[in-house]
Structure 1
Amino acid sequence: MKTFVPKNDEQNWIVVDATDIPLGRLATVVASRIRGKHRPDFTPNMIQGDFVIVVNASKIALTGGKLDGKVYTRYSGYQGGLKKETAREGLAKHPDRVIEHAVFGMLPKGRQGRSMHGHLKVYAGERHPHVAQNPQPLAITNTARTKNNEVK
């Protein structure tokens, strides 16, 4: 019996509107589509995922106290070089980086994960330059659940 190896010829373009979608829910769906886990022939050692375009990144929803409580840090390597930025400041300056940080944290680390970074395109507004690829819209449902799992 021969080993089945899926072909890597079917990569679609997906467009997602991030308006009022919680950041974590959006990031899990997008990371899963980029990785290719939605396909029935998913193979972990191959990049089979779709290209994902996220529009309206500036209108993303952060639930709870995450706007001021979530802090992004980066360190330059020098003494006193620790830079801190809250999610509110990040959304005001570069809303695309907030979504990219959340999605890239859910992708595999290493060579394969770094090559998946090019499959994500994030834009702060509604317009994107990928109209020629004919992207298909992907709807993400935004149902808030209570403690007893009842839909509001």
Structure 2
Amino acid sequence: MKTYVPKDVEQNWIVVDAAGIPLGRLATVVASRIRGKHRPDFTPNLSTGDFVVVVNADKVALTGKKLDNKVYTRYTGYQGGLKTETARVALAKHPERVIEHAVFGMLPKGRLGRALHTHLKVYAGETHPHSAQKPTQLEIK
């Protein structure tokens, strides 16, 4: 018996409203949709998932004391160049990066993960430029 490999996979566009949804719950659902784990023809080594557009990223919820205790760090490349900022500051400056950071951490590392990064589009406000793709709305409870 030969191994089934899906060909010509139809990738849909999905819009997710992040207003009031906890960050972790949102990230797991979005990462699963990008990977394609909701499909019956899921293949772990192929990009069979959907394109996901997240709107209202600035209204995402962080539970507990995560707004002040969660710290995002980055290294500039220079000595003593470790920069940190709390989740409250990161949400105020660039809320898109907070959701991208959470979702990208749940995607595979390597060539496939870098290809899947292009399937996520995050916007701070209500509007997005992907209406021509006719995305469907996904409700997260």
TM-score, scaled relative to structure 2: 0.98
Question: 2:119 is aligned with what amino acid?
Answer: H
- Please state how far the C-alpha of 1:102 moved relative to its aligned partner: 0.1
Alignment of 1:106-125 (within 5 A): 106-125=106-125
Structure of larger gyration radius? 1
Instruction: Look up the match of 1:18.
Output: 18
Shift in alpha-carbon separation, 1:8–1:47, aligned structure 2, 3 A: farther
Structure 1 stretches of 4+ with a deviation exceeding 6 A read none
Instruction: Look up the match of 1:3.
Output: 3
Instruction: Look up the match of 1:95.
Output: 95
Structure 1 position 45 matched with structure 2 position 45: yes
Alignment of 1:37-76 (within 5 A): 37-76=37-76
- Structure 1 residue matching 2:15: 3-state secondary structure: strand
- Structure 2 residue matching 1:137: 3-state secondary structure: strand
- What does the per-residue CA deviation read over 1:107-145, in whole Å, with 9 as the maximum and x for residues that have no partner? 00001000100000000000000000000000000xxxx
Instruction: Look up the match of 1:149.
Output: none
Count of paired positions: 141
Question: Gapped runs of 5+ residues in structure 2?
Answer: none
- Structure 1 residue matching 2:73: 3-state secondary structure: strand
TM-score, scaled relative to structure 1: 0.91
Question: Gapped runs of 5+ residues in structure 1?
Answer: 142-152
CA distance in 2, matches of 1:130, 1:77: 36
State the identity as a percent: 79
- What does the per-residue CA deviation read over 1:25-77, in whole Å, with 9 as the maximum and x for residues that have no partner? 00000000000000011110100000000000000000000000000000112
Residue 8 of structure 1 contacts residue 48 of structure 1 at CA under 8 Å; is this kept in 2? no
CA distance in 2, matches of 1:18, 1:46: 27
